[in-house]
Amino acid sequence: MLKSKESVCYKERLRSHHDALAPLHALVRPAANFADRLYNMSLDERPRTIYLHVPFCTHNCTFCNLNRRRTQPPDDYADLLLQEIETYSTYPYISEGRYDAVYFGGGTPTTLSAKALQKVLSALRSHLNLTPNVEVTIETTISDLTEDKITVFQEEGVNRFSLGVQTFSSKGRYLLGRWGNGEKAMKKITYLLEKGFQDVSIDLIYNWPGQSEEDLLEDLRIIESLNLAGLSLYALILPKETVLYRMIGTGQCPAMGDIGQEKRFFDLILERLLDRGFILHELTKLVKPNRDEYKYVRIRYDNGDTLALGAGAGGRLGNVVYHNPSNMDDYRQQVKSPIGLPTKGLLVNNIYDFIYHVVGRLEFGRLDWNDLKPFPKLQDYLQPLVDTLTANGLIELDSQGLFLTRDGVFWGNNIAREFATTIIEFFRRKGGDAIKHSDIPQKNVPMSHHPATG
């Protein structure tokens, strides 16, 4: 770790929870016969979610290099999702479980027609056991969220929206490849709230090329005025394969701000919004109390199941992590095969669960000593890391455990990754094959609900 004039920092900031979880890749091993494993799984009380992937977009953002297709979904895409739902529902482990959250992600799920969306939403309720207060989230852009789709969402019980606004600035929206201006975005958000959807959240990107402090303050002023339930805040990540990266390289737009500016903008967002009714829910999530629970992400961090549907979707059932093919032809072939499911996955064990659980706690800003209780010697092993982080002002301690400071939240993924790496080292030193073939008598660790500090 290094010290700078801005704050204590690492050499490079990890901006994604995927980076924090990367050390866990070493803990999985191949698992064949996915369908047989699913058939023989015993029903348990672990929490469950459903994830539906719609990897299609009307247009591509200039900063995106993810699994998206710039096209409308194939005519049979909704039918393929329905066939998947029906296939999974024939397995008792799936049909008898209770699902507390449904998340339509992408891509842009609202590239599906209103009729297709209604068909899928209806199938979920008719084939799977959704709880009475299930959280149903739709990711969408402003331009793809049309009146007929809003009507379907009202009829089918959608109760949470995540809108990819990114910024209300005209120049920022142009650079990021967003359609429509900031005023159109504001009007669509206001309309959703007026229609009775109270859990409306947006994505906010900061530190985009040429963004000034005044630009960010204007975004925050608009956010304050809109009565949003929450927002996800992301520093711009710009892979080399993206259009925007090439634009910077050829001088078509300004360079991105450095890590010092990124930290200043992060601090500005928190200082402004935490004083105006928002609380920090997770490293990248600010919410209004009692408005946005974001059950989906909480369940995933609690080692809950995720039934994954759609091309390129990844999930977990029991102790098997799995992915659907990203290629549409391969996905279609899988769904229409006699089994209709993936043929293999990755097997995880209880050490994987335990470390995932610890990372999840840190993503929410707090780790209690009780979370480490299954391994009495682990707290002592972690003590040098805890001392270093405390000395550098990234965590603070109390009688119950530790919590991230505001600087710690900024570097939260780095911190979580250090914990994951150190705990893996602990188990490897503990001996032999323990890390691969654990018999820890602990399937689910209860979720604590301590918010990260402001």
21-80 per-position pLDDT tens digit: 999 999 999 999 999 999 999 998 899 999 999 999 887 788 876 544 557 899 999 999
Q: What is the rounded radius of gyration, in angstroms, for the C-alpha atoms of the chain?
A: 22
Cβ–Cβ < 8 Å for 133, 157: no
What is the tens place of the pLDDT at every residue in 184-243? 999 999 999 999 999 999 999 999 999 999 999 999 999 999 999 999 999 998 888 888
Alpha carbons 110 and 144: distance in angstroms, whole number:
6
What residues pair up with 130 in beta bridges, in sequence order? 99
Angle at Cα 68 formed by Cα 244 and Cα 259, nearest 5°?
40
pLDDT of residue 58: 85
- CB burial readout 237-247, b (16+ within 10 A) else e: ebeeebebbee
Tokens of 427: 């188990």
pLDDT of residue 72: 84
Alpha carbons 403 and 383: distance in angstroms, whole number:
14
The sign of the torsion formed by the CA atoms of 220, 222, 223, 224 equals positive
Cis peptide before 107 (omega within 30 of 0): yes
Cβ–Cβ < 8 Å for 123, 86: yes
The sign of the torsion formed by the CA atoms of 186, 190, 193, 195 equals negative
Alpha carbons 51 and 323: distance in angstroms, whole number:
12
Q: Maximum distance among all alpha carbons in the chain?
A: 61
- CB burial readout 317-355, b (16+ within 10 A) else e: bbbbbbebbeebeebbebbeeeeebbeebbbbbbbbbbb
Cβ–Cβ < 8 Å for 237, 63: yes
- Residue 413 identity (one-letter amino acid): N
| CATH 3.80.30.20 corresponds to the domain 27-300 | yes
Alpha carbons 387 and 46: distance in angstroms, whole number:
34
pLDDT of residue 70: 56
Positions in the chain short of pLDDT 70: 1-9, 65-70, 431-454
Residue 382, Cβ neighbours under 10 Å: how many? 21
- Between the alpha carbon of residue 113 and those of residues 120, 149, 159, 197, the distances in Å are 11, 7, 19, 20
Cβ–Cβ < 8 Å for 383, 402: no
Q: Where are the domains of the chain?
A: 27-300, 350-430
> The CATH number of 350-430 is which of 1.20.1250.20, 3.40.720.10, 3.40.640.10, 1.10.10.920?
1.10.10.920
pLDDT of residue 444: 34
pTM of the full predicted structure? Answer: 0.91
pLDDT of residue 437: 42
Alpha carbons 366 and 386: distance in angstroms, whole number:
13
